[in-house]
C-alpha cells in the first residue's frame, strides 16, 4: 500500500498534555478502490469504528507496541522559544472587531526541514 492509497485526517492527541500512550482521534480513509477494511464486524474495540473504507479512532488509547518497530503514541512538551519581539494592538472598547496577529513573525526561523503547523 502506498501513501496515495489512504488518507489520514483529524489526527490529534485528545489532550495537549505531554506523555506516553495518550488517547488519540484520527480517521484513516482508503482511497484506492482495490483495498477495503474487511471484515469490519470483527473489530470490536472500544474507541474504534470501521466501515469498508474508513477506520476511525475516537478517544482511543493505543496499547504498548507489539512489534519491535512499532512505537506507542507519544507527545513531548515543546520548549518555549525566547521571544523578544512585541506586538501592539489598538483595541476599542464596546466595539466588536477581529484582531489579527501574525504569530509567525514573532517566532524564530526554523531549520529545514522543520516547519510551523498550518
3-59, pLDDT tens digit by residue? 888 999 988 888 888 777 788 899 989 898 888 877 666 667 788 888 888 888 898
Reduced to 3 states (helix: H, G, I; strand: E, B; else coil), residue 40 is: helix
DSSP state of 11: E
- Strand ranges for 1-118 from DSSP E: 6-13, 19-20, 24-30, 48-50, 54-60, 74-75
Q: Is the pLDDT of residue 63 over 80?
A: no
Rounded-to-integer distance, Cα 24 and Cα 45, Å: 14
pLDDT, position 64: 52
pLDDT, position 7: 92
Tell me, yes or no, if the pTM score tops 0.85.
Answer: no
pLDDT, position 4: 87
Amino acid at each position: 500500500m502506498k501513501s496515495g492509497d489512504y488518507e489520514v485526517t483529524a489526527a490529534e492527541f485528545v489532550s495537549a498534555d505531554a506523555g506516553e500512550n495518550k488517547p488519540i482521534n484520527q480517521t484513516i480513509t482508503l482511497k484506492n478502490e482495490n483495498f477495503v477494511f474487511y471484515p469490519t464486524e470483527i473489530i470490536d474495540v472500544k474507541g474504534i469504528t470501521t466501515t469498508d473504507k474508513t477506520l476511525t479512532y475516537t478517544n482511543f488509547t493505543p496499547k504498548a507496541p507489539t512489534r519491535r518497530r512499532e512505537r506507542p503514541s507519544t507527545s513531548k512538551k515543546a520548549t518555549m522559544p525566547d521571544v523578544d519581539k512585541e506586538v501592539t494592538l489598538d483595541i476599542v472598547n464596546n466595539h466588536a472587531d477581529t484582531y489579527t496577529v501574525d504569530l509567525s513573525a514573532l517566532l524564530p526561523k526554523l531549520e529545514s526541514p522543520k516547519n510551523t503547523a498550518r
